[in-house]
């Protein structure tokens, strides 16, 4: 692992997600607890992980409804998607974003 970059930044437009990770307790959302567990595991392996808030897509037609639906869903204690599915979806989104950045250069 010594030849790999050990510094990572997780970018999110969700201030709520960052705050949830800062204020964990026994009543925290199960997904927040799982993220914290993964963070701890990775940092124990010597990785440096920072979280960075970026502005979302406010003002773009239709996205306010999507944001509201997302906020409503984040308040639910029960997750409708298995964690593995959510992780796979995030990986796909990251690859797509990376590809679009790569294509623009």
| Range of the structural domain that residue 53 is part of | 6-104
Opening angle at CA 90, ends 54 and 105, nearest 5: 60
* Interatomic CA distance for residues 70 and 74, integer angstroms: 6
Determine if residue 44 is left, alpha or beta; phi over 0 gives left, psi from -120 to 50 gives alpha, anything else beta.
Answer: alpha
Grade residue 84 by pLDDT with cuts at 50, 70 and 90: confident
DSSP state of 8: E
Q: Dump pLDDT digits (tens) for 57-79.
A: 666 666 677 777 777 877 765 65
CA atoms within 13 A on the CB side of 11: 7
Q: What is the pLDDT of residues 3-50, one digit of tens each?
A: 678 899 988 888 888 888 888 888 888 888 899 999 999 999 999 999
| Number of domains present in the structure of the chain | 1
In a domain? residue 1: no
**Residue 91 burial (10 A CB sphere; 0-12, 13-18, 19+):** exposed
Q: How far apart are CA 8 and CA 19, in angstroms?
A: 19
DSSP 42-88: HHHTT-EEEEEE----TTSTTHHHHHHHHHHHHT-SS-SS-HHHHHH
């Amino acid at each position: 692992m010594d030849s790999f970059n050990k510094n990572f930044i997780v970018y999110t437009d969700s201030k709520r997600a960052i705050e949830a990770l800062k204020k964990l307790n026994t009543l925290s959302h199960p997904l927040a607890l799982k993220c914290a567990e993964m963070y701890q595991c990775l940092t124990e392996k010597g990785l440096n992980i920072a979280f960075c808030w970026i502005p979302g897509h406010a003002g773009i037609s239709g996205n306010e409804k999507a944001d509201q639906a997302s906020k409503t869903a984040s308040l639910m204690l029960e997750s409708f998607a298995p964690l593995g599915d959510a992780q796979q979806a995030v990986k796909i989104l990251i690859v797509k974003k990376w590809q679009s950045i790569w294509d623009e250069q």
